[in-house]
């Protein structure tokens, strides 16, 4: 686990921003409320999108435990050969304890955080192992209010192009998103939080994500399990 003065400061800022709830590890709601005595609505983003934000996860796969760090970089052109190569997006770097890296270009468009392009780099040489791009862009998370209500469900369809070993292949991907819960308690190494639980299913596989407003993804299951260890975020 990595800790730092900056992390402590950011955590303190989070308390000042969201107020104090019954569990100090859970961001309390912010907003005006509806005047009937019910708690105000938390308007913080499911995934804070500011350059410099970073998240560290414990990854468990087939009994093996490792760590990965995701760092949100500055805005630049997506690049590559796909249809969105001239679009501006944040460069996101994921560093794995094995030495492998993943680079992706993502941006917030209206209420949606989307991926345009992604590269997987070899641990041994840092060279590109494979690359993918999507048209339209692939959904990462949808912030629309109607897509944060328990039971909400919608279909995402896009064309996926993969480049590997000098060859190119394409396919049409359909993914069904479902909100399993609008508020569920979840405990990970970073603490206990109230999360929005989303499921993405397609191609015979399914992944479940726990997102906490003002913090981001705190847990993922499906193929492997990722659990948040520490984070440094600004809104």
pLDDT at 14: 40
Query: Taking the chain (235 residues) in consecutive chunks of 10 residues, what is each chunk's mean pLDDT?
Result: 38 35 37 47 87 98 96 98 97 96 97 98 94 98 96 98 92 97 98 98 94 98 97 93
Q: What is the pLDDT of residue 43?
A: 75
**Domains of the chain, start order:** 5-232 (2.40.360)
Three-state secondary structure string covering 135-196: EEEEEEEECCHHHCCCCCEEEEEEEEEEEECCEEEEEEEEEEEEEEEEEEEEEECCEEEEEE
pLDDT in the model for residue 5: 34
């Amino acid at each position: 686990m990595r800790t730092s003065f900056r992390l402590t400061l950011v955590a303190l800022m989070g308390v000042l921003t969201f107020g104090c709830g019954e569990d100090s590890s859970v961001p309390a709601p912010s907003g005006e409320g509806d005047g009937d005595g019910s708690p105000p609505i938390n308007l913080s983003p499911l995934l804070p999108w500011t350059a410099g934000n970073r998240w560290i996860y414990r990854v468990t796969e087939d009994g093996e435990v490792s760590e990965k760090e995701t760092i949100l970089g500055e805005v630049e052109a997506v690049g590559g050969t796909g249809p969105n190569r001239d679009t501006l997006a944040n460069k996101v770097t994921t560093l794995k304890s094995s030495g492998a890296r993943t680079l992706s270009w993502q941006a917030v468009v209206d209420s949606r955080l989307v991926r345009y392009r992604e590269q997987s780099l070899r641990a041994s040489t840092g060279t590109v192992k494979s690359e993918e791009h999507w048209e339209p862009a692939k959904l990462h998370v949808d912030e629309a209010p109607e897509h944060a209500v328990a039971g909400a469900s919608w279909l995402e369809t896009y064309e996926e192009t993969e480049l590997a070993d000098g060859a190119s292949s394409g396919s049409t991907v359909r993914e069904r998103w479902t909100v399993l819960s609008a508020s569920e308690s979840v405990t990970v190494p970073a603490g206990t939080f109230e999360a929005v639980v989303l499921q993405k299913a397609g191609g015979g596989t399914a992944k479940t994500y726990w997102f906490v407003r003002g913090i981001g993804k705190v847990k993922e299951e499906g193929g492997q399990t990722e659990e948040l260890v520490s984070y440094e975020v600004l809104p």
